[in-house]
Amino acid sequence: MLNTEKNNINNLLNDDGFIAWVASGQKINNEYWTNIEAELNSSEKSEFNKAVIILKKLRALHIDDEKSIKSEVFIKEQYEKLITDYNTVSTKKSKVIKFNPWMKYAALLVVFLSITGLVFFFNIANNTFEANLAEASFNTTDLLIQTPDKNYYKISDDENKSWINEDGVLITVSNQAISFLPTSTAKSTKNLEYKIFVPKEKKYHLTLIDSTSVELNSNTTIGFTNSLSTKQREINLVGEAFFEVAHDKNRPFVVYSSDLKIEVLGTEFNVSNYKNNEYTSTTLIAGSINVSNQQGEHLIIKPGNKATLLHNQGDIMVEKVNVQQEVSWTNNRMIFENETLENIIKRLKKWYDVEFILTDENIRQYKFTGTLKKENELTHFLQMLKYTKGINYEIKEGNVSLFFE
């Protein structure tokens, strides 16, 4: 028997699975909801049927263009308008106005109806990447996502889309972030692999299906699966990323880089694994991580420590570091402390997508301490070189030449 407290009309209208079932024409999870309906008494069945009618009539009000994507903003605006219209008409005392019974409930949807379910409800025919994003060929200048079917899609600068896919996962995409969040129907999701490619000069944020938060630095590629049922959560990383891992003692979180394997249960850490670097490193901010190399050597890293493995060596080196300096890029800052210009240049190349030409090899070993903000132009840093160290510069066709006058 249906739990009346849990499944009254308001709760049904807030159930993503119920909304998906109605929106799909009673196709998605039909057996489940048909069995639920069959167990209801007359009073409960009345509530159930009212909820179905509300959703069907409400969708009919706004179905002027079924092929267009209805964003979360659009949906919220529709309900605000619905509330306004309802209140305006109901306050007119000059004449008696009768409302259909379902309209009373529809006016309450802004409070009770699930926004994730609504996104699905209005976009039932647009629940794929193909329907929402522009297909593209692989390139290194655009922000791209590769879907399990191996197709590439471009995430444009004005992107702002939301939809629920056939597995019941709410996907929200913008030019700043992408998230994969399970709805009530996503109890068993497929083990599908995605990849995100972040170009130079850009950062991007990813929220995984387990609510793990990942900040991706420029020139970074991340591969991940969207499953709630695998024995462990696995990530493949080339580039740099900061992780805030959702705790799950039954499903370890594993990051694979070129040389290091990093295993955690729930913690915050940074991984740097750029192809043109001579090393792979991970810095622990909170919690604990188990780091291992290809030879099977294991080390437990404590907060505030950094584990580094040089590509031409097998040993893992551990040192205490300035954590804020290591993760400053997540706040669009570059902090360097007594750091050589050679190392600083490597980071500047990723930030500004330029190449440096040094006419004097001695320039590489000059050391600097300071903080750069990414919103500042590159010339801000170059002027600092000029006035503090006498190093002049010339910018031409994406190349920066550094030299002594």
Q: Return the closest-CA partner of residue 18 out of 87, 104, 118, 108.
A: 118
List alpha helices for 163-239, DSSP H. Answer: none
> Confidence band (pLDDT; 50, 70, 90) for 118?
low
Q: For 261-282, what is each residue's pLDDT tens digit?
A: 999 977 999 999 998 888 999 9
pLDDT score of 337: 87
Q: How far apart are CA 223 and CA 206, in angstroms?
A: 11
Mean pLDDT of 167-178: 88
pLDDT at 96 over 60: no
Q: Who has greater pLDDT, 20 or 298?
A: 298
Domains of the chain (ranges; CATH) run: 9-122 (no CATH), 129-325 (2.60.120.1440), 332-404 (3.55.50.30)
pLDDT tens string 325-358: 999 999 889 998 888 998 899 888 888 888 999 8
Structure tokens at 357: 């030409």
Band of residue 228 on the pLDDT scale cut at 50, 70, 90: confident
**Mean pLDDT (whole number) for 137-161:** 93
Please tell me the predicted confidence (pLDDT) of residue 7. 56
Highest mean pLDDT among 110-119, 234-243, 395-404: 234-243
β-bridge partners, 281: 272, 308
Q: What is the pLDDT of residue 266?
A: 76
Percentage of the chain modeled with pLDDT above 70: 77
165 against 272, higher pLDDT: 272
CA 362/CA 38 separation, integer angstroms: 82
Integer Cα distance of 183 and 17 in angstroms: 7
- DSSP β-bridge partners for residue 272: 240, 281
Residue type, 31: E
Position 306 scores a pLDDT of 96
The answer to whether residue 107 scores a pLDDT higher than 50 is no
| Triad 212, 238, 246: Cα angle to 5° | 10
Task: With a cut of 90, say whether residue 156 has pLDDT above it.
Answer: yes
What average pLDDT score do residues 140-157 get?
95
Look at residue 99 in the predicted model and tell me its pLDDT.
40
Q: Each residue of 279-334: pLDDT tens digit?
A: 999 999 999 999 998 888 899 999 999 999 988 888 899 999 999 999 999 988 99
What is the pLDDT confidence band of residue 203, given thresholds at 50, 70 and 90? very high
pLDDT surpasses 90 at 84: no
pTM of the model: 0.69
Q: Supply the pLDDT for residue 101.
A: 45
Tokens, residue 194: 């995605």
Q: How confident is the model at residue 150 (pLDDT cuts 50, 70, 90)?
A: very high
What is the reported pLDDT for 103?
45
